Amino acid sequence: MLRDAQVYREIKEEIQRLKIPLVNLILKICEERDIAEKEKIERDIAQVIEILESKLTDFHPKLMLYGCYNAGKSTVINALIGKEVAKVGDKPETSEITSYQYGDYELFDTPGLNALIEHEKITKEHYARCELVLFVLSNDNVESDFVYKEIKTIIDDNKPIIIVLNKKQDCSEEELWLLQEKIYDNLVKLGLTKEDTQKQVSVYTVNALSAYKGRVGNKDGLFKSSGFSPLESRMQELLTQSGDKEIMNTCNLSIETFVKNTLEFIDKQIKSDPLKLLEACITRLHKQKKAERDRLEYLINAELNTLATRLKAIPLSESSSAETMAQSGTEKIQHKLNEELRIIVQDINEDIHNVQAACEKIQINYTVRKERYHSDEDATEKEKISAILSALQAAITALATKFPVIAIVVPIIESIKRFIETAQEKNARMRALELEYQQKIHDIINSLQEEFNKGKEDALNTIFDPVIQELTQESENKKRNKRELREMKEKINAILDKLPARDDKTLTLSCATLA
């Protein structure tokens, strides 16, 4: 019975409980990319649950053949099985996982390490299910740097590994020894000591084609000279020794990988540069609205004071011209205010477009990185920016459809006309009418001031409020999502706390070089 089996069952159940809320959170956050991200999370969850269920019910370790295509993986498989079950060719022949029965164990053939991107993805997903890795190299790819990065990953993941150096070309004993030394030296360059590398990695030099021909043709001498017998003996030794430790390691690694990928996604959502741009834009709009309110109020007061001075300078005897002056002065102020409002709208549009451009630049950077490195890890951030861009565009649309125009009610100007008509009938009380005339101008100016200020406030509210409201709503949504993401992050992290401790990662694997 697998040690700590109950712990793994509890972890599996916790992951299953988190599946629906996690997927729903992804749907809410990713918006246009919700289907792809939802499916990715569901695949990750399904994979870790599948691995846990498999290891809890079947304690037999599994093997995986890994390495570059054209290194002789298919020939190695055929030699192990004893018949031609894997197609051999100079081009990648494996595009999916193929399972073979090797004695009491299951052996998986995987797409080549340097095959197509989608095929490499299949390999990496299946890698998590296996306890022993046969990494096949040939004479001509011993110096490939990317090969050793993959080997180091396997070592870091605490998986037993056997490097199978397949002789596809004739080599002397000295050349074979030098190739083996190059393998160790290349691993040392990645931070491993040569002594530790020789303890952790087995290297077997074989001629897979000779082994296959010898086994199929019952040519014992040819098979023995291929170096395959010691390789198989070491495989059997490791498979027999594999027990709770290796299975627990596979379970832990699958859980840790799921947790790592999920937390990386959550952290990218929490650390949002576009959200900072959005918040800064909202702050600027609030400040701009206040500044424009003060500036327009100053403009209204200045213009009305000028109009009042000009109206008061008109003698009562020429009061008929006051009506024309008041009308033209009011229209002038009205025109100035509307021009100022148009400039304000243009400024807001420019500001929002600048925020859009900044977000799009970030979005383009993520797109370029994705295309350059063939990775989906930046897609989350890219789609989140798209959501903010949509909110900004909605704000611009709201602004364009609600452009305000200040219009002063005609009856205010009409009051001057009515006063003049009355004044012409009362020439006998000229002095009293002069004072009344001045007071009337004062009252009219105050009324205009009140009307213009009310129109100014209505106009600024019409301009700024829908934009601020639209962007604030988007910001609040993002903040609420962040809170939910942090809560989910705590739950995901709690899974790691339940994991049984791994055994010491040092693998006492032998090294042997065989002709």
- Closest C-alpha among 261, 260, 66 to residue 146: 66
What DSSP element (H or E) covers 201?
Answer: strand 201-206
Question: How many residues comprise the chain?
Answer: 515
Per the CB < 8 A criterion, the answer to whether 396 and 350 are in contact is no
Query: Apex CA 434: angle with CA 431 and CA 436, to 5°?
Result: 110
The separation between the first and the last C-alpha atoms of the chain, rounded to the nearest angstrom, is 41
Distance CA 407, CA 287 (A): 26
State the DSSP code for 503. P
CA-CA-CA-CA dihedral for 447, 450, 454, 455, to nearest 10: 50
DSSP reduced 3-state for 203? strand
SS3 for 105-152, per residue?
Answer: EEEEECCCCCCCHHHHHHHHHHHCCCCEEEEEEEHHHCCCHHHHHHHH
Per-residue model confidence (pLDDT) at position 364: 45
Query: Apex CA 265: angle with CA 259 and CA 271, to 5°?
Result: 125
Distance CA 36, CA 39 (A): 5
Per-residue model confidence (pLDDT) at position 381: 47
Tokens of residue 86, six digits: 């894997």
Per the CB < 8 A criterion, the answer to whether 142 and 182 are in contact is yes
Per-residue pLDDT of the chain (515 residues; tens, 9 = 90+): 456 778 888 898 999 899 888 888 887 776 555 467 677 788 888 888 888 888 777 767 888 898 877 788 889 999 999 998 888 765 555 567 888 988 888 898 887 776 555 556 667 777 877 888 999 988 777 777 788 888 888 888 888 899 999 887 677 778 888 888 888 888 888 887 777 777 778 889 999 999 999 999 999 999 999 999 999 999 888 887 766 677 788 888 888 888 988 888 888 777 766 777 778 888 888 899 999 999 999 998 898 888 888 877 877 666 667 777 878 888 888 888 888 888 888 888 888 888 777 766 655 444 434 444 344 444 444 454 555 555 555 555 554 444 444 554 444 445 555 555 555 555 555 566 667 777 777 887 888 888 888 888 888 888 888 888 888 888 888 888 888 888 999 999 999 888 887 554 433 333 333 22
SS3 for 287-340, per residue?
Answer: HHHHHHHHHHHHHHHHHHHHHHHHHHCCCHHHCHHHHHHHHHHHHHHHHHHHHH
Per the CB < 8 A criterion, the answer to whether 222 and 213 are in contact is yes
Distance CA 472, CA 476 (A): 6
DSSP reduced 3-state for 406? coil
The set of long-range contacts for 371-378, using a CB threshold of 8 Å and a minimum separation of 24, is 374/117, 376/40, 377/264
279-297 as b/e: b if 16+ CB within 10 A:
bebbeebeebbeebbeebe
State the DSSP code for 502. P
DSSP reduced 3-state for 74? helix
Helices of type H across 189-272: 194-200, 208-216, 220-225, 228-241, 244-270
What DSSP element (H or E) covers 64?
Answer: strand 62-67
DSSP reduced 3-state for 90? coil
Q: Which residue has the tokens 């006051």?
A: 322
Per-residue model confidence (pLDDT) at position 45: 87
Per the CB < 8 A criterion, the answer to whether 94 and 64 are in contact is no
Per-residue model confidence (pLDDT) at position 162: 92
CA distances from 119 to 95, 115, 126, 141, 303 (A): 6, 6, 11, 20, 74
Distance CA 457, CA 232 (A): 86
What secondary structure does DSSP assign to 156-191, as a single string? HTT--EEEEEE-SS---HHHHHHHHHHHHHHHHTTT
